[in-house]
Amino acid sequence: SIVSPREPNQLIIKRVVALEGDTVVTRLRYKHRSVVVPKGHCWVEGDNADKSMDSNTFGCVPLGLISAICLYIVWPPKRWTRVSVGMPSDRSTIVYPND
Helix (H) / strand (E) element for 16: namely strand 15-19
The pLDDT-based confidence of 46 (bands split at 50, 70, 90) is confident
Please state the pTM of the whole predicted model.
0.80
| Residue ranges of domains in the chain, CATH in brackets | 2-82 (2.10.109.10)
Q: Is the dihedral of CA 6, 21, 90, 14 positive or negative?
A: negative
* 83 pLDDT higher than 80: yes
Identify the pLDDT of residue 41.
96
Residue 32 contacts by C-beta under 8 Å, 6 or more apart in sequence?
A: 26
Mean pLDDT to the nearest integer, 4-18: 91
Give the tens place of pLDDT for each residue, 67-79: 998 888 888 899 8
* 94 pLDDT higher than 80: no
Identify the pLDDT of residue 28.
80
* 62 pLDDT higher than 90: yes
Mean pLDDT to the nearest integer, 49-76: 89
Strand partners, 11: 3
| Pairing state between β 23-25 and 2-3 | unpaired
Do the beta carbons of residue 61 and residue 46 sit within 8 Å? no
